[in-house]
Amino acid sequence: MTAVMPGTGGAVPEQGEPVNSAAVKAQLRLRELIFAGQLAGGARITEVAIAELLGVSRTPVRSALMRLEQEGLLEALPNGGYAVRTFSEHDVADAIELRGTLEGLAARLAAERGAPPVVLREARECLQRIDELLRESALDDAAFTRYVAFNGRFHALLSELAGSPLVAKQLERVISLPFASPSGFVVVQADTPAARDMLLIAQDQHLQVLDAIEARQGSRAEALMREHSRIAQRNLREALHGTRAHPLPGVQLIRRRS
């Protein structure tokens, strides 16, 4: 199964293209190089070197480096330049736990305050699309890519259901952390014999959460989303300590517990 990772396919901004667009493309391409292991953990990188590597000017590269520092993939060095960060297994587990806690809060607020019907309908439609994909006995690369997209969309809608801009903003920040997104470790599921079974469990939890929100069962909705994050924790352990190699983008940046 092909790993799904952000990137632009190496596209280079054309001459005269707006700086913001060039910066975004540089950011995506640089992130792709890091996750692919072409820029190793701890490696020092500079504006000049990256500009030459990507074939763009230093202005968009400077912006891209700053944004990747904000995301947590890079750290600024005292004497200038940046280094590719590495992460302890505890760091990643904590980020997943934090996402589960905030998504649980979002689900509880949605249930207690009453979720917007139009967003609920959109969430149901999203899960129907996932159901259609999971009717197949196995997911090919194209189907898996669609699953990742629908899964991410459902989690974004869950944030909308809460009706809390504050919670939504905090969730957005957490999800942007390396390896903390809802689909961050889904690729591990996709490369195991029990892949479809695990995806079915996750989908059942999605459906139960919506049922709990509609029934105004706040505590149940919160508990379900907290439990839902346990799947990602399981996949993290499998990616780092399992007997099989996994094509998880960026897994080489995670320092395993001894």
- Neighbouring residues of 257: CB distance < 8 A, sequence distance ≥ 6: 88, 89, 90, 240
Angle (CA) 69 60 86, round 5°: 25
pLDDT of residue 139: 75
pLDDT at residue 2, rounded to an integer: 42
Going by C-alpha positions, the residue among 102, 34, 43 that lies closest to residue 64 is 34
Structural domains of the chain sorted by starting position, each given as residue range(s) with its CATH number in brackets: 19-85 (1.10.10.10), 88-255 (1.20.120.530)
The predicted structure's pLDDT at residue 194: 63
155 by Cβ neighbours in 10 Å (0-12 / 13-18 / 19+) ranks as: buried
What is the model's pLDDT at position 244?
61
- pLDDT recorded at residue 3: 43
Q: Among all chains, which residue has been given the structure tokens 């983008």? A: 249
pLDDT of residue 6: 33
Positions in the chain whose pLDDT score sits under 50: 1-19
